[in-house]
Amino acid sequence: MLNNEYLKRVYEEVERRDAHEPEFLQAVREVFESLELVVDKHPEWEKNGLIERFVEPERVVEFRVPWVDDAGKTHVNRGYRVQFNSAIGPYKGGLRFHPSVNLSVIKFLGFEQILKNSLTTLPMGGGKGGSDFDPKGKSDAEVMRFCQSFMTELYRHIGQFTDTPAGDIGVGGREVAYMYGQYKRIVDRFEGGVITGKGLTFGGSLARTQATGFGLCYFSAEALKHLKNDSYEGKTVVVSGSGNVAQYCAEKVTALGGKVVAMSDSQGYVYDPNGIDLPKLFDIKQKRRARISVYADEVAGAEYHEGCRNIWNVKCDIAHPCASQNEMDEKGAQALVDNGCMAVFEGANMPLTPEAIEVVKSNGLLYSPGKASNAGGVATSGLEMTQNSMRLSWSFEEVDEKLQGIMKNIYKACYDASVECGKPGDLMLGANVAGFLKVAEAMMAQGVV
Query: Choosing from 107, 128, 259, 361, which is the catalytic residue?
Result: 128
Using the rule CB under 6 A, which residue among 57, 89, 241, 369 binds ligand NDP?
A: 241
Q: Is 117 in the site for ligand NDP (CB under 6 A)?
A: no
Using the rule CB under 6 A, which residue among 319, 322, 410, 428 binds ligand NDP?
A: 322
The full DSSP string for 103-172 is HHHHHHHHHHHHHHHHHTTSS-EEEEEEES---TT--HHHHHHHHHHHHHHHGGG-BTTTEEEE-BTTB-
Q: Restricting to residues 141-180, which ones interact with ligand NDP according to CB under 6 A?
A: 167-170
- 235 as an active site residue: the answer is no
Q: Restricting to residues 271-310, which ones interact with ligand NDP according to CB under 6 A?
A: 308
Q: Which residues contact 280 (CB under 8 A, 6 or more apart)?
A: 295, 298, 299
Smallest separation (angstroms) from ligand NDP to the CB of 289: 9
Comparison of 10 and 82: residue with beta carbon closer to ligand NDP: 82
Q: Is 30 in the site for ligand NDP (CB under 6 A)?
A: no
Q: Is 243 in the site for ligand NDP (CB under 6 A)?
A: yes
Smallest separation (angstroms) from ligand NDP to the CB of 119: 12
Smallest separation (angstroms) from ligand NDP to the CB of 129: 12
Q: Is 245 in the site for ligand NDP (CB under 6 A)?
A: yes
For residue 70, what is the DSSP state? T
Comparison of 48 and 409: residue with beta carbon closer to ligand NDP: 409
Smallest separation (angstroms) from ligand NDP to the CB of 233: 25
Nearest one of 13, 23, 92 to 55, comparing CA atoms:
13
Comparison of 104 and 374: residue with beta carbon closer to ligand NDP: 374
Q: Is 266 in the site for ligand NDP (CB under 6 A)?
A: yes
Q: Which residues contact 321 (CB under 8 A, 6 or more apart)?
A: 240, 241, 327, 328, 344, 346, 347, 348, 351, 352
Q: Restricting to residues 351-410, which ones interact with ligand NDP according to CB under 6 A?
A: 374, 377
Nearest one of 245, 286, 250, 252 to 270, comparing CA atoms:
250
CA distance 14 to 193: 34
> How many other C-beta atoms are found inside a 10 Å radius of the C-beta of residue 48?
15
What positions carry a catalytic annotation? 128
Which residues would be at the binding site for ligand NDP (CB under 6 A)?
167-170, 212, 241-246, 265-267, 308, 322-324, 327, 347-349, 374, 377
